[in-house]
Amino acid sequence: MKHRWMRACITIGAVAVAAVHVVWPALAIDGITALLLLVGVVPWLQPLFKSLELPGGVKVEFQEIATLEKRADDAGLLAPPGAVATQPSYSFQLVAGTDQTLALAGLRIELERRLDALARANGYEGGARGIGNLLRHLNSRELISGAERGVLSDLVSLLNSAVHGAQVSTDATERALEIGPRILEALKKRAASENVHYLGIADGTEGPPAA
């Protein structure tokens, strides 16, 4: 019964936030809204996730996240470990111990918010929304490098797979939730900077565009 009430509260909360997100004229139906609605359904489908595997047996392993971490570090997309609070500062960190899928969905939402903030801090008024469009816009304006765009696109693709039912190993989840706040912090500082300019437009060879 306790778990049933918890799931009901999560569903109501996610749907309410999604509704608020679209009521105001300035807010459009975008990836954040869609993901919040999905998060609202996740708690009710959780018992099925133990046996659910996407067609083709999609899985996310530790090595995939570790490779992304190295690429992010090489691209300068990771804030120093000491720049990130030791105590949880994001809601997805608070639920990581009880619901890994919900935590990864929360990280996906925060990434889109940070990218949107970076774009708006540099004059973006908003056209077609969605994290894929944001990445293309930021790279075309040289606010993120081609290497950074590739890392972020691949990371979001992995997070999308996890949210849609792919099996994610525990150590892969833990590593993703460790590097996630460092990427968010780096994007936050970049949005606050008055002079951001990166050379290196993506050549379109990185992974499929994020949704």
Q: What pLDDT, in 10s, does the model give residues 33-65?
A: 555 555 555 555 444 444 334 444 456 788 889
pLDDT tens-digit series, residues 86-126: 888 889 999 988 998 999 999 999 999 999 999 988 888 76
What H or E segment, with its residue span, contains residue 21? helix 2-23
166/10 Cα distance (integer angstroms) = 21
Which is nearest to 132 in space by CA: 104, 160, 96, 107?
Answer: 160
pLDDT band of 23, cuts 50, 70, 90: low
142/144 Cα distance (integer angstroms) = 5
Domain annotation covers residue 79: yes
Domain annotation covers residue 114: yes
Domain annotation covers residue 128: yes
Query: 59: helix, coil or strand?
Result: strand
Percent residues over pLDDT 90 in the chain = 31
Specify the number of domains making up the chain: 1
Query: 28: helix, coil or strand?
Result: coil
According to DSSP, residue 82 is labeled: G
Domain annotation covers residue 19: no
Domain limits for position 179 = 52-192
pLDDT band of 192, cuts 50, 70, 90: confident
Beta bridge partners of 168: 60
Residues 138 and 77 sit within 8 Å (Cβ to Cβ):
no
Residues 99 and 26 sit within 8 Å (Cβ to Cβ):
no
Domain annotation covers residue 60: yes
Q: Which residues contact 199 (CB under 8 A, 6 or more apart)?
A: 142, 145
Determine how β-strand 167-168 pairs with β-strand 59-60. parallel
Domain annotation covers residue 34: no
Domain annotation covers residue 141: yes
pLDDT score recorded for residue 168: 85
Residues 176 and 107 sit within 8 Å (Cβ to Cβ):
yes
Domain annotation covers residue 102: yes
